[in-house]
Amino acid sequence: MNQETGQKEQGVPVTGAATQVSGVSGAAKIGVVTAIMISVADMVGIGVFTSLGFQVLSITSGFSLLLLWVVGGVVALCGALSYAELAAAFPRSGGEYNFLSRSYHHSIGFMAGWLSATVGFAAPIALAAMAFGDYFKGVYPEAPVLALGLGCVWLITFLNILGVRRSSLFHNVATFIKIALILAFIGFGFSYSSPQPVSFTPSSLDWHHVLGAPFAISLVFVMYSYSGWNASTYIINEIDDPKRTLPRAIVISTLIVMILYILLNAVFLYTTPIDQMAGQLDVALVVGRQIFGSEGGVLVAGLICFGLISTISAMVWIGSRVTMVMGEDMPLLAVFSRKNRFGAPAVALIVQAIIVTVLMLTQSFESILDYIQFSLTLSSFLTVLGVIVLRFTQPDLPRPYKTWGYPFTPLVFLILTFFIMAYLIMERPVQSFAGLGTMLAGLVIYFISVNYSPTVKPNRDS
């Protein structure tokens, strides 16, 4: 089944731009290493450096605390394996926008894409940029937080406008240094610190922790730290031989981050008394002072600050591609699909940077992040569910890669994701339904765009 036929069958509007899977003729392509670095950088943000302080308030077992990150990594890996099947079967940029359009109907994909294109990436970019400024202030107290954050966003946006070749080089170097600094921090902590009385071997008491409500609630926030494992699926058009490269990149990046997260939390617990970390948001700074002395906080602040550069780089890169692909399909949004002479979606990148700037200037990004969590989780849930749906609705669909462990692999992800959504509805009902409202607003835009171009309409039978 060729791409155009498949799009018509799934109710995807087909335009000339939409059929150009490879993008600009002769455009630079990235390999498996850059695809891996994109996902690693997107995942490793500030979550892993802050969450342990709240986990130790109710869980004090070293084994149970590390098990949280193992379970979270396994669930993320189940999602990655499921996404890999869809990425190989439908090799086109856009992430959930592409997958949901092909699995269900283009209107469903558009709602997820609308969320990503408006605030789904802009809000996390704004948060990471503000965190960059905050941690830089830990290195240089007189630093202007807002100006530094805005400068970082616009500089990275400019590098992306210069094309994939330049932006991928910058991103790879920044991510490699980030990983090297984290590994150096881990190695130094284990080698030169006095060990704390914490055990990483299981005991009979661990069953009490693992089966308790605090473990389940902590797992919700661990999964947020793993979010980003699907990052490379947003830039499939720019990946060389995506049917082979994408499955490897998604799985390898998730495994790398899982190992880093386990080692980071192990060194936190190994080097620092639990009572010093309990209730602390800046756990990494507390641990840094414990390992390196009074100046340790400055060193760790610098590490996190530098690491956030590659995180922002990944989100700027992939967020703009969702808008670009939507512009390829929908004439009303066609301006976002335009590429400059470097093959970069310059309009999409600039508009994204403007949205980020507004969120930072109005300090509204935290509230937006709070209310889009449910919708983003729902998009991932529906995408993985699509793997199962397509096995029934399109059994003959060419699948260059099939999800390992199917159907158990997607079911594991779906069960935990369903629990997370239930938790969000119970704890944050107003924010959760507000996020759904944003997606429904996208549905209105979709029908306006379809009616705007009568020649581009979804298949009513899909």
Q: Which range marks the domain in which residue 100 is found? A: 30-452
**Residue 439 located in a structural domain:** yes
pLDDT digits (tens, 9 = 90+) for 12-59: 444 333 333 334 444 568 889 999 999 999 999 888 888 888 888 888
How high is the pLDDT of residue 7? 39
How high is the pLDDT of residue 61? 87
**Residue 16 located in a structural domain:** no
Tally of structural domains, the chain: 1
Distance, in Å, from the CA atom of 392 to the CA atom of 388, rounded to the nearest integer, reads 7
**Residue 140 located in a structural domain:** yes
**Residue 43 located in a structural domain:** yes
Write out the two tokens for 51: 């969450």
pLDDT digits (tens, 9 = 90+) for 333-355: 889 989 999 889 999 999 999 99
CATH label of the domain that carries residue 389: 1.20.1740.10
**Residue 323 located in a structural domain:** yes
Is the pLDDT confidence value at 458 over 60? Answer: no
Provide the pLDDT confidence category of residue 6 given band limits of 50, 70 and 90: very low
pLDDT digits (tens, 9 = 90+) for 115-166: 988 888 998 999 899 989 888 887 888 889 899 999 999 999 999 999 888 8
Residues of the chain with pLDDT > 90, as a percent, come to: 45
pLDDT digits (tens, 9 = 90+) for 90-113: 999 899 999 999 999 999 999 999
Using a cut of 0.75, tell me whether the model's pTM lies above it. Answer: yes
How high is the pLDDT of residue 298? 86
Mean confidence (pLDDT) of the chain:
85
Written in H, E and C, the secondary structure of the chain is CCHHHHHHHCCCCCCCHHHCCCCCCCCCCECHHHHHHHHHHHHCCCHHHCCHHHHCCCCCCHHHHHHHHHHHHHHHHHHHHHHHHHHHHCCCCCCHHHHHHHHCCHHHHHHHHHHHHHHHCHHHHHHHHHHHHHHHHHHCCCCCHHHHHHHHHHHHHHHHHCCHHHHHHHHHHHHHHHHHHHHHHHHHHHHHCCCCCCCCCCCCCHHHHHCCHHHHHHHHHHHHHHCCCCHHHHHHHHECCHHHHHHHHHHHHHHHHHHHHHHHHHHHHHHCCHHHHCCCCCHHHHHHHHHHCCCHHHHHHHHHHHHHHHHHHHHHHHHHHHHHHHHHHCHHHHHHHCCCCCCCCHHHHHHHHHHHHHHHHHCCHHHHHHHHHHHHHHHHHHHHHHHHHHHHHCCCCCCCCCCCCCCHHHHHHHHHHHHHHHHHHHHCHHHHHHHHHHHHHHHHHHHHHHHHCCCCCCCCCC
195 closest CA partner among 263, 268, 277, 284:
268
How high is the pLDDT of residue 432? 87
**Residue 7 located in a structural domain:** no
How high is the pLDDT of residue 254? 93
**Residue 19 located in a structural domain:** no
- Alpha-carbon distance values, 106 to 100, 179, 356 (Å): 7, 38, 27
Query: Torsion angle, CA of 408/409/411/416, rounded to 10 degrees?
Result: 130
How high is the pLDDT of residue 125? 93
Are residues 255 and 404 in contact, defined by beta-carbon separation less than 8 angstroms? no
pLDDT digits (tens, 9 = 90+) for 369-417: 777 888 999 999 999 999 999 999 999 999 999 999 999 999 999 999 9
